[in-house]
């Protein structure tokens, strides 16, 4: 959590998470891929260029509605024999082994058949049809579609959408927010610790809320694989938000566990050991399920409610990590973060009153539920956690120049002008960070704004909590890379997400950090940038100054030491090599040394960066 301490102000309050690139053959290969989103003007907010489309097809006409912003592409809908084609040329960068085409599609039809595709939409890359839809796909509202386009890596092809109608009964194919993301592909191995497990968790969650959105009940399950050569006899679930209650009276309850035998809660009720029925050898998988209850406490916190507005950060139990150091069962910290998790997949279904908006991690699709209720299904791939909110928020939306959909959800009391300013900040920041470190991979980004947040801001994948603050929001969005995409052990190495994020914030805001290291003054010989949260919880007044401020200044100093070009290349390559992975201080130091002929031994000592 990005905490604001009363004695501190300005950029020193906000910071970043960093990760590392090893000078290995794999790292070099990963760096050959520069992740990118290659569709231009995918939200159609900049007119028709560079699209080729029939006159009037790209429109803000009230006959249909945009998925975000004002404009969209409307193909067909004439009710007579007709063909419309929307297209643009796209180039997928070389070296990237994976590519995903994504778009929002609304199909509106007058056809009544439930079995015959009279009117069709063909999606092509070059001459290859990669997806087809028809009048049989009609639905209320937009649905997000994704298509694997990895086979076209390194190619320049024409992306086209061709709608074809027969002689009667109209079908409209309405498109918006089209993206084509290229990335490095599979998660790179983590050479620093091949024992890290459980791996590749996949969470499935179904929850139903009460009328307020402050109480949720349902079921969660997680499937995982043992990646370690050492057998896996048990797993631990972290129930982080039980730190907000009194053990054993807890706001998060887990009952009816299947797939293993639960032990009593430990670590102040934030850890639940589940002994597996039989040890899992390397490569074997298991599943643990349980009934889940969540009660949101009062307070404008990352887990709490501010009046009618509920914030559910860290509310879902997630698997702890076992690595070379053993099981990570660190205590919860309110001063920063304790979270350490691997990239996971989440499918979360949230049944709630229609009067409540539910921003969430991942890409969300709403469908009607029972009377007066809506079912929000959020899917997220390769994320470290899942968070959501529930309340009568005011929402405004836009699309960044690079095609990222951004939603700003405001509580009562946030002016329309401030919400619009935060939307502008978010769309600019997400593109600025993506240009430096690699394309934003999480589809859409939700920012929830409440000036009562005592902590300033907090990041989750695709979901941030923040005040009305340009610097703070730019910082929290940088965490999508430094903690989200490139992970770290936030309890034992908090500088790897805070110092790097504050450095990225400076870069996005054009700040050079000139002379900032000159203001460093250590409180004791034990004080180091790389200290753990155990140290900072005991010395909380120094946490932000050292981890955020000194950490950021150390990275500015590193840039001056090795040169701007080398630093730019280092951080981008570093992110690519650990894309969806986990990094350590030792790996970052090795990557830095590999990027320069300057001996950095004295640099690390001077800047108190150990590891």
Q: Write out pLDDT tens, residues 119-128.
A: 999 999 999 8
Q: What is the pLDDT of residue 192?
A: 54
Please tell me the predicted confidence (pLDDT) of residue 24.
Answer: 29
pLDDT band at residue 37 using 50, 70 and 90 as cut-offs: confident
Annotated binding residue 82:
no
Total residues belonging to the chain: 611
Closest by Cα among 392, 49, 38 to 214:
392
Residue 479 known to bind ligand: yes
The candidate with the shortest Cα–Cα distance to 572, out of 27, 185, 167, is 27
- C-alpha span between 450 and 290 (Å, rounded): 33
Per the model's pLDDT, the better-predicted residue between 342 and 98 turns out to be 342
Give 94 or 478, the one with higher predicted confidence: 478
- 261's enclosing H/E stretch is strand 261-262
Q: Domains along the chain? A: 36-183 (2.60.120.260), 199-487 (2.60.40.1730), 495-607 (no CATH)
Q: Please tell me what DSSP assigns to residue 14.
A: -
Confidence of residue 526 (pLDDT cuts 50, 70, 90): very high
**Residue 347 confidence (pLDDT):** 96
Instruction: Compute the distance between CA of residue 315 and CA of residue 308 in angstroms, rounded to an integer.
Output: 18
Q: Which pLDDT belongs to residue 99?
A: 84
Helix H, strand E, coil C: the string for 292-332 is EEEECCECCCCEEEECCEEEECCCCCEECCEECCEECCCCC
Region 242-251 average pLDDT: 93
Per-residue pLDDT at 3 exceeds 50: no
CA 184 – CA 96 distance, rounded (Å): 5
Q: Is 556 annotated as a binding residue?
A: no
- Helix or strand (DSSP H, E) at 459: strand 457-460
The more confidently predicted of residues 534 and 194 is: 534
pTM of the full structure = 0.75
Tens-place pLDDT, residues 341-388: 999 999 999 999 999 999 999 999 999 999 999 999 999 999 999 999
314: left (phi over 0), alpha (psi -120 to 50) or beta: left
Average pLDDT (11-37) is 41
Q: Is the pLDDT of residue 10 over 80?
A: no
Q: Is the dihedral of CA 331, 335, 340, 345 positive or negative?
A: positive
Query: Are the CB atoms for 368 and 385 separated by under 8 Å?
Result: no
CB atoms within 10 A of CB 30: 25
- Tell which residue, 342, 341, 335, has the closest CA to residue 541: 335
| Nearest CA among 189, 179, 202, 190 for reference residue 441 | 179
Three state DSSP letters for 211-234: CCCCEEEEEEEEEEECCCCCCEEE
- What's the mean per-residue pLDDT of the chain? 91
268 in Cβ contact with 246 (< 8 Å): no
- pLDDT at res. 184: 62
pLDDT computed for residue 8 by the predictor: 33
Which residues are tagged catalytic?
476, 548
Query: Which residues, 6 or more positions from 390, have their beta carbon under 8 angstroms from its beta carbon?
Result: 209, 213, 214, 309, 310, 312, 350, 352, 356, 357, 358
Provide the percentage of residues in the chain whose pLDDT is more than 90: 79
pLDDT tens per residue across span 442-474: 889 999 999 999 999 999 999 999 999 999 999
């Amino acid at each position: 959590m990005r905490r604001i301490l009363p004695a501190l102000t300005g950029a020193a309050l906000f910071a970043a998470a960093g990760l590392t690139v090893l000078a290995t053959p794999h790292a070099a290969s990963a760096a050959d891929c520069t992740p990118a989103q290659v569709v231009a003007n995918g939200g159609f907010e900049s007119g028709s260029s560079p699209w080729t489309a029939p006159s009037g097809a790209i429109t803000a006409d009230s006959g249909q509605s945009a998925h975000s912003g004002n404009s969209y592409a409307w193909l067909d809908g004439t009710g007579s024999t007709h063909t419309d084609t929307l297209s643009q040329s796209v180039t997928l960068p070389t070296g990237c082994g994976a590519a995903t085409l994504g778009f929002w599609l609304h199909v509106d039809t007058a056809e009544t058949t439930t079995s015959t595709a009279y009117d069709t939409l063909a999606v092509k890359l070059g001459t290859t049809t990669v997806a087809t839809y028809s009048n049989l796909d009609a639905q209320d509202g937009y649905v997000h579609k994704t298509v694997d386009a990895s086979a076209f890596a390194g190619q320049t092809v024409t992306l086209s959408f061709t709608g074809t109608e027969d002689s009667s009964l109209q079908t409209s194919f309405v498109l918006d927010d089209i993206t084509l993301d290229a990335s490095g592909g599979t998660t790179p191995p983590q050479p620093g610790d091949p024992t890290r497990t459980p791996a590749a968790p996949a969470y499935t969650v179904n929850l139903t809320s009460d009328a307020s959105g402050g109480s949720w009940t349902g079921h969660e399950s997680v499937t995982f694989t043992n990646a370690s050569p050492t057998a896996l006899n048990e797993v631990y679930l972290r129930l982080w938000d039980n730190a907000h209650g009194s053990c054993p009276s807890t706001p998060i309850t887990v009952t009816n566990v299947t797939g293993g035998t639960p032990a009593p809660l430990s670590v102040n009720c934030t850890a639940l050991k589940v002994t597996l029925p039989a040890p899992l050898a390397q490569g074997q998988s298991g599943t643990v399920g349980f009934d889940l209850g969540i009660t949101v406490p009062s307070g404008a916190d990352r887990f709490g409610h501010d009046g009618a507005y509920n914030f559910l950060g860290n509310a879902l139990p997630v698997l702890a990590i076992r690595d070379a150091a053993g099981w990570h069962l660190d205590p919860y910290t309110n001063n920063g973060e304790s979270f350490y998790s691997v990239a996971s997949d989440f499918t979360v279904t949230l049944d709630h009153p229609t009067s409540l908006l539910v921003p969430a991690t991942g890409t969300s699709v709403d469908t009607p539920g029972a009377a007066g209720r809506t079912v929000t299904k959020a899917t997220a791939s390769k994320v470290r956690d899942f968070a959501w909110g529930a309340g009568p928020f005011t929402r405004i939306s836009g699309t960044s120049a690079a095609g990222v959909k951004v939603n700003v959800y405001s509580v009562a009391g946030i002016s329309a002008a401030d919400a619009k300013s935060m939307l502008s900040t978010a769309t600019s920041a997400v593109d600025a960070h993506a240009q430096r470190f690699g394309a934003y991979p999480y589809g859409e980004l939700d920012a929830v704004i409440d000036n009562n947040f005592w902590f300033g801001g907090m990041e989750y994948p695709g979901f941030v909590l923040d005040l009305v603050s340009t610097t703070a929001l730019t910082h929290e969005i940088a965490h999508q890379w430094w903690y989200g995409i490139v992970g770290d052990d936030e309890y034992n190495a908090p500088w790897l997400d805070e110092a790097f994020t504050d450095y990225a914030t400076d870069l996005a805001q054009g700040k050079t950090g000139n002379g900032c290291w000159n203001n460093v003054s250590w409180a004791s010989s034990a004080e180091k940038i790389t200290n753990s949260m155990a140290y900072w919880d005991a010395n909380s007044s120094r946490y932000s100054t050292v981890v955020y401020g000194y950490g950021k200044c150390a990275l500015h100093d590193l840039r001056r030491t090795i040169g701007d070009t080398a630093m730019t290349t280092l951080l981008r390559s570093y992110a690519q090599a650990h894309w969806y992975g986990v990094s350590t201080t030792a790996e970052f130091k090795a990557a830095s040394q590999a990027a320069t002929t300057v001996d950095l031994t004295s640099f690390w000592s001077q800047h108190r960066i150990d590891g």
